[in-house]
Amino acid sequence: MPRSSKHRQAIVRTAALLFRRHGYAATGLARIVAESGAPKGSVYHYFPEGKAAIGAAAVAFAGELVRRSLESLAERSATPGDLLRAYAGQLAGWMAESGFRDGCPIATILLEAATDEPGIRAAGARAGAEWTGILAGALRAHGVAPKRARRLALTAIAALEGSLIQARVAADTTPILEVAEEIGALFDAAAGDAQQA
């Protein structure tokens, strides 16, 4: 990997972690540089537009990690509900590993900066659409009508986002797992109904 590319990736990875844990406003460029190990000049070289460009890149990076994880789980899951439960299991593991300091990899920055930063908003919209699309695709593959599949996928994403907040506050993974069990049952019921129709 070229050295310059390594520095860009280090900046983006570090920013994604810091924004998720501490927030966009509370994370300065100096801290990103210090914790990434990249030379200070590389921040301005790769992100001449400044912090907002780093924010958009961090959201895209984190969104892509989730997308890949969902795709991998979708390939291995027998039912749409199994996919959701497996993903929730991953989320619960990541939360516990972080000592409940982490949450959704993009929610914190989106809540703070999406209104004011179009690049961050666009990256968040792409990530959300991709995640929703994977869940909806799993439902459609089991016969669920496209409109219903999209609505169920949106419901799942919204419910999981809420469960991450509850888990962080409670320092307990139970909300994540229970929400996934309920929404997973909805997924499987919708798939069962579609196959009987």
Give the CATH number of the domain where residue 151 resides.
1.10.357.10
Within-domain flag for 30: no
* Residue 196 in tokens: 């009987």
* Residue 12 in tokens: 């983006």
Within-domain flag for 135: yes
Within-domain flag for 13: no
* pLDDT at residue 31 in the model: 95
Residue 54 has pLDDT above 70, yes or no: yes
* pLDDT at residue 1 in the model: 46
Domain count, the chain: 1
User: Largest Cα–Cα distance of the chain, in whole Å?
Assistant: 61
Within-domain flag for 93: yes
CB 56 within 8 A of CB 24: no
165: number of CA atoms within 13 Å, CB side?
9
Within-domain flag for 161: yes
DSSP 8-state code for residue 50: -
Within-domain flag for 11: no
CB 16 within 8 A of CB 62: yes
Within-domain flag for 69: yes
* pLDDT at residue 103 in the model: 83
**Closest Cα to residue 60, out of 119, 127, 128, 13?**
127
Question: Confidence class of residue 6 from pLDDT cuts 50, 70 and 90?
Answer: confident
Q: Which domain holds residue 63?
A: 59-196
**Closest Cα to residue 100, out of 170, 43, 48?**
170
149: exposed, middle or buried (C-beta count within 10 Å: 0-12, 13-18, 19+)?
buried
Within-domain flag for 53: no
Alpha helix stretches (DSSP H) within the chain: 3-22, 29-36, 40-46, 51-76, 80-97, 107-113, 118-141, 146-170, 174-196
Could you read off the pLDDT of 59-73 as tens digits, one per residue? Answer: 999 999 999 999 999
Amino acid at 191: A
